[in-house]
Structure 1
Amino acid sequence: MLRSMTGFGKGEASFGEGQHLVVEVSSVNRKQLEVRTAFPPELVSQEIPARKMVQEYISRGAVQLRVSVNSTGAAGQGAVNRELLRSLIRECQEMRREFGLQDEVAVETLMSVPGVLGATPFSPENQPAAVEALETALRGALEKFQEMRTVEGEALRRDFAARLAGLETLLGEIEPQVSGLAASIRERLLEKLAAEKIPTGADDDRLLKEVLFYADKSDVTEEITRLRSHFAQFRRFLDETKPVGRSLDFLMQELFREITTLGNKAGIPTVSPLVVAFKSELEKLREQIQNVE
């Protein structure tokens, strides 16, 4: 199934006495996998295991992983990180002395600093419970993250199928106009030679080979066959269960190459607008594929 590279998921878990852990996972487009993390100091040691879990779910994209811990209930209301508050007060006093400032900083103001109020430091006793809560919350966040990406991926799959059908229609309009093009060019060349009174006998192998060579350069049968083959491969990718974003991106390059060659070889005024329309739809399709994992 297709999955979008953009998504968001949130997981939560409680542990210890009134401790609540929240994990948020979000991502945007990126060719490779890049994971950025924001962990509370007490859980920094769990960053590597968390990254490994993220890699179980995500193969590419710029991923932001945020972990926060708050105290809830009575424990959260009365919890003050006194060490952090003392440190902030000392720093404020030192800054006032260094710069000759007269204004005082109210303690109440410092208590609004993140981490001072409602942030009881972990104790060694609740560390294992915190690690277990992190794993639970992260797994939950990743599951919701996947659900969102899958829903968006299904919408992309429907859009891709519709655009692919449009490309097949355009190719169906091009094909009859270029059918027999090589033979037509060959006949015109022979007529031109005859009009110029240049002998083209059946025994003149050199001249006939040159005529055939020039005519064959306008034969686009091979390009049409490859385009239809790429269409079939595209549909197979849409039904894959593994990430196919890179494969689809490569397939777009091949489609562009074939339709460009076809347009150059055909050189028919009525075909040129169809080739332009084909390329325009391909470009829209390629932009959408940049959103696929």
Structure 2
Amino acid sequence: MLHSMTGFGSARLDTEQYCISVEIRSLNSKSMDLSVRTPKFLSDKEYEIRNMVQKALVRGKVSVTVEFTKNRTQKARNTINKDLLKAYYTELSEVADKLAADKGELFRLALHMPEVLQQEEQEDENADEDWSQVQPLIQEALQGVNSFRANEGKALTTEIMSYIDRIRILLAEVDKHDPVRVESIRTRIRGHIAEISSSEHFDQNRFEQEMIYYMEKLDIAEEKVRLVNHLHYFTETVFLPEPTGKKLGFISQEIGREINTIGSKANDATIQHHVVEMKEELEKIKEQINNIL
């Protein structure tokens, strides 16, 4: 079954300490075109992330975004400058004694004096532990992308096979009309023979050789057979389990070559009309193949 190269997948983990979110987007591309954006503490994991994406998605223009956000209560921690607190408290206590004031609020006042409470940013000391949380989220997002691609691929399969079926119908019309075309050519040839056979310069052997060449040049039987085979091969390839986008592109080129040859050799207005319609269907197929994995 076909898979689209267009896809989206995401995963998220929320804890009391932090939030991790992963988003992966994919568009069509001739090869793997991958961009990765991660927090600084995961910079040494980029190679591993790239391998995971390459293995899972194979081809496409892919962007991976990993965001790691600590909760506000976890971003910084308060520390107490004990020496400075003690100095403030002693000084405030001495002043209170001199003024005979109540000392009940002195500790609270000292605690909120300048530079007693200091904030220290927490270091990412557990990068390996964080990575163990990020890795399954990336896998989950990749599975989401592939599910998206598979669903898109089902629609593409239905659409492309409708174009292939239309080409088959048109080819059947060509095959149906071909005897009429051949008989028309024979009638014209008989008329020409009647005109030139009376000439004293008429060479029967040369004439027969040229007629054989002429008839072979107009014969489209082989092209019709090859086109049928290409259409059958295309259909078989569509339903293979592995990625087949590039192979289908090559087969569509062969289909186009046979259609063009039928058009150029037929020398018939009705068949030319069917050929034009087949080319239109083939162009629709080629447009969709550009987005097939």
TM-score by shorter chain over 0.5: yes
Report what 1:122 is aligned to. Answer: 124
User: How far apart, CA to CA, are the structure 1 residues paired with 2:130 and 2:199?
Assistant: 93
Report what 1:253 is aligned to. Answer: 253
Report what 1:219 is aligned to. Answer: 219
Amino acid at match of 1:195: E
Q: Which residues of 2 match residues 4-83 of structure 1 at below 5 A?
A: 4-13=4-13, 18-72=17-71, 76-77=72-73, 79-80=75-76
1:20 CA displacement: 2.4
User: Structure 2 unaligned runs (5+)?
Assistant: 78-120
Flag the 1:216–1:182 CA change in 2: closer, same or farther, 3 A: farther
Q: Which residues of 2 match residues 72-111 of structure 1 at below 5 A?
A: 72=71, 76-77=72-73, 79-80=75-76
Say if 2:36 and 2:46, in contact at 8 Å, map to a contact too: yes
Report what 2:91 is aligned to. Answer: none
User: How far apart, CA to CA, are the structure 1 residues paired with 2:70 and 2:138?
Assistant: 18
1:231 pairs with 2:231: yes
Amino acid at match of 1:25: I
User: How far apart, CA to CA, are the structure 2 residues paired with 1:199 and 1:122?
Assistant: 102
1:80 CA displacement: 4.9
Work out which of the two has the higher radius of gyration on C-alpha atoms and give 1 or 2: 2
Flag the 1:180–1:223 CA change in 2: closer, same or farther, 3 A: farther
1:249 CA displacement: 1.1
Q: Deviations over 1:229-265 (max 9, x none)?
A: 1111111111111000001111111111111110111
- Percent sequence identity is 31
User: How far apart, CA to CA, are the structure 2 residues paired with 1:192 and 1:215?
Assistant: 14
User: How far apart, CA to CA, are the structure 2 residues paired with 1:291 and 1:252?
Assistant: 14
User: How far apart, CA to CA, are the structure 2 residues paired with 1:79 and 1:40?
Assistant: 15
Amino acid at match of 2:57: I
Amino acid at match of 1:79: K
Amino acid at match of 1:24: E
1:186 CA displacement: 4.9
Say if 2:27 and 2:62, in contact at 8 Å, map to a contact too: yes
Say if 2:181 and 2:268, in contact at 8 Å, map to a contact too: no
1:190 CA displacement: 4.4
Secondary structure of residue in 2 paired with 1:217: helix
User: How far apart, CA to CA, are the structure 2 residues paired with 1:160 and 1:237?
Assistant: 12
Secondary structure of residue in 2 paired with 1:291: coil
Q: Deviations over 1:6-38 (max 9, x none)?
A: 0000123467x6122211110111111111111
1:273 CA displacement: 1.6
User: How far apart, CA to CA, are the structure 2 residues paired with 1:165 and 1:61?
Assistant: 28
Report what 1:102 is aligned to. Answer: none
Amino acid at match of 1:122: D
How high is the TM-score relative to the length of structure 1?
A: 0.78
Report what 1:134 is aligned to. Answer: 134
Q: Deviations over 1:123-167 (max 9, x none)?
A: 1xx112111112111100001111111011011111112121111
Name segments (4+ residues, structure 1) moved above 6 Å.
none
Pick which of 6-15 and 259-268 moved more: 6-15
1:195 CA displacement: 1.7
Secondary structure of residue in 2 paired with 1:35: strand
Pick which of 260-269 and 185-194 moved more: 185-194
User: How far apart, CA to CA, are the structure 2 residues paired with 1:40 and 1:130?
Assistant: 11
Alignment length (residue pairs): 249
Pick which of 137-146 and 204-213 moved more: 204-213
User: How far apart, CA to CA, are the structure 2 residues paired with 1:251 and 1:36?
Assistant: 31
Say if 1:20 and 1:70, in contact at 8 Å, map to a contact too: yes
How high is the TM-score relative to the length of structure 2?
A: 0.78
1:223 CA displacement: 1.0
Say if 1:12 and 1:140, in contact at 8 Å, map to a contact too: no
Say if 1:25 and 1:141, in contact at 8 Å, map to a contact too: yes
1:77 CA displacement: 4.1
Say if 1:183 and 1:215, in contact at 8 Å, map to a contact too: no
Flag the 1:120–1:211 CA change in 2: closer, same or farther, 3 A: farther
Amino acid at match of 2:28: N
